[in-house]
Amino acid sequence: MNFKTLKLDFLDQNVPLTRDVYSRDLKKYQLGLLNLQLRLKESKRSVLILIEGPDAAGKGGAIKRTLERLDPRLVRVYSTQKPTPEEYRHHYLWRFWNKLPPYGEIAVFDRSWYGRVLVERVEGFATEAEWKRAYAEINEMERTLVDDGTILIKLFLQVSKDEQLRRFRERQADPYKHWKINGEDWRNRRKWKQHNAAAEAMLVKTSTKIAPWKVIPGDYKWYARVEFAKTIYERVSREFPEARQPA
């Protein structure tokens, strides 16, 4: 994908999937990842998965379906929230270091250090000099991790503006999903163009040969979940070809 010409609002979202294909493929990649996890835990390698994307893009659902068959003792999922007062006293990357996965394990960051060039840029929480400097800082950090053996996977789930509105309204009407929506989500939506512009710049400046981004259309949840699991499986299996599942 050529990120220099990518416009997220024009991403092809017409990628439906039947229930049978969804169930078959998701099960295949879940089993494949379980076999890879058994190999990973005996190695001096780790897997770090970074996930970004707009509110209601399906990040949580994709994480749940991809990881639910793995050994939970060797997987950690972190939802990145507003920095604590202690974290504010340090460089913005500091709070992520102690969450990096040890050798043999998997960690997932549901939002990550890319907040520096996304929400912090858009909301003015970082100065222009700070977020512009962050591209190089992040690329160098990721090179350090990859050089040490980390299998780094970066996924961006994109939902269309119309579909996001439908999901917001659904969440508001469902008492079991009402906790998923708040005023901050609506405020972010009002700055849709600014958030897209920040994301498009991020993809151009931080999709590197050693740590490329994968953009996944998210309007069709079944497609997004399968593509999410497939991308992780294929990336990890390249490092452990002996444990790869037959096609």
Contact residues for 137 (Cβ-Cβ < 8 A; gap 6+): 93
Whether 247 has a pLDDT exceeding 80, the answer reads: no
pLDDT digits (tens, 9 = 90+) for 123-142: 999 999 999 999 999 999 99
Using alpha carbons only, what angle is made at residue 175 by residues 173 and 176, rounded to the nearest 5 degrees? Answer: 120
pLDDT tens figures, 32-64: 999 999 999 999 999 999 999 999 999 999 999
The pLDDT, as a whole number, for residue 26 is 98
At residue 246, the pLDDT reads: 58
Give the pLDDT mean for 9-37: 96
**Is the pLDDT confidence value at 1 over 90?**
no
Segment 67-75 mean pLDDT: 97
- Classify residue 121 as left (phi > 0), alpha (psi -120 to 50) or beta: alpha
The CATH class of the 8-239 domain is alpha beta
Cβ of 117: how many Cβ atoms within 10 Å? 24
pLDDT > 90: percent of the chain: 91
Predicted pLDDT of residue 204: 98
> Could you report the per-residue pLDDT of 213-232, keeping only the tens digit for each?
999 999 999 999 999 999 99
pLDDT digits (tens, 9 = 90+) for 144-199: 999 999 999 999 999 999 999 999 999 999 998 888 898 889 999 999 999 999 99
61 touches 221 (CB < 8 A)? yes
**What mean pLDDT do residues 85-94 have?**
95
User: Residue 202 pLDDT > 70, yes or no?
Assistant: yes
Q: At 54, give phi and psi (nearest 5°).
A: -65, 165
Residue 236 reports pLDDT greater than 70: yes
Position 18 scores a pLDDT of 95
